[in-house]
C-alpha cells in the first residue's frame, strides 16, 4: 500500500514538470514582443540616419545589440530549460537542429545566463559612459558596482562549474 502511494506521488511529481511548458511558450511570446521593439527602434532610427551624430548612432546601435542579446538569451533559456526540465525536443531529421541543443545542463545554462547578463550589463554601462555628461556621478558609481558584482558572480559560477565537472 505504501509503495503504491509512493509510486503515485513520484509519478505526479514527475508529471508536474509539464507545468513549465506554458512558461516556455510565454517566453516565446516575450520574444515576439522583443521582435516588435527591435524593429520599432530601427524604424525610429532610419529616417534620422543622416542627421544624427556618430555618438547617437553608436548609442542606438548598442540598443539594438542589447535587444538582440536579450532575444538570444530568451532562446537559450527557453530551449535549454525545456530540454532539461520538461522533455527532449522531437525534431525530424529534415529540421535544421541547433548544434548546441541537448548539450546544456542546468549548470552550464546558469553560466551562459550569467555571461549573457554580463554582456547586456556591459552594453548598458557603455551607453552610460557615452552619456557621461548627462548622468549623475553617484549613478555611474552604482552602475559600475552592480556591473562588477555581475562580472564577479559570472566568474565564480564559471569557476564552480569547472570545479564540479572535474
Listed by start position, the domains of the chain span: 20-165
3-class secondary-structure state, position 112: helix
Does the pLDDT at position 166 exceed 70?
A: no
What's the rounded Cα separation, in Å, for the pair 111 and 165?
A: 13
pLDDT band at 115 (very low <50, low <70, confident <90, very high): confident
62-79 mean pLDDT = 88
Q: State the chain's mean pLDDT as an integer.
A: 87
Does the pLDDT at position 100 exceed 70?
A: no
Percentage of residues in the chain having pLDDT higher than 70: 92
pLDDT band at 28 (very low <50, low <70, confident <90, very high): very high
How far does Cα 114 stand from its chain's mean position? 8
Q: pTM score, two decimals?
A: 0.75
Amino acid at each position: 500500500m505504501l509503495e503504491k502511494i509512493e509510486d503515485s506521488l513520484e509519478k505526479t511529481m514527475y508529471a508536474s514538470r509539464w507545468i513549465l511548458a506554458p512558461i516556455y511558450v510565454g517566453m516565446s511570446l516575450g520574444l515576439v514582443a522583443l521582435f516588435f521593439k527591435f524593429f520599432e527602434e530601427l524604424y525610429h532610427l532610419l529616417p534620422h540616419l543622416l542627421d544624427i551624430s556618430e555618438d547617437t548612432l553608436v548609442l542606438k546601435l548598442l540598443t539594438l545589440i542589447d535587444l538582440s542579446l536579450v532575444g538570444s538569451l530568451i532562446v537559450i533559456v527557453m530551449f535549454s530549460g525545456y530540454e532539461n526540465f520538461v522533455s527532449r525536443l522531437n525534431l525530424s531529421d529534415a529540421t535544421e537542429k541547433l548544434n548546441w541543443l541537448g548539450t546544456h545542463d542546468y549548470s552550464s545554462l546558469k553560466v551562459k545566463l550569467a555571461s549573457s547578463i554580463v554582456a547586456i550589463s556591459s552594453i548598458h554601462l557603455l551607453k552610460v559612459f557615452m552619456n557621461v555628461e548627462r548622468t549623475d556621478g553617484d549613478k555611474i558609481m552604482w552602475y559600475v558596482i552592480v556591473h562588477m558584482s555581475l562580472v564577479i558572480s559570472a566568474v565564480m559560477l564559471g569557476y564552480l562549474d569547472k570545479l564540479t565537472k572535474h
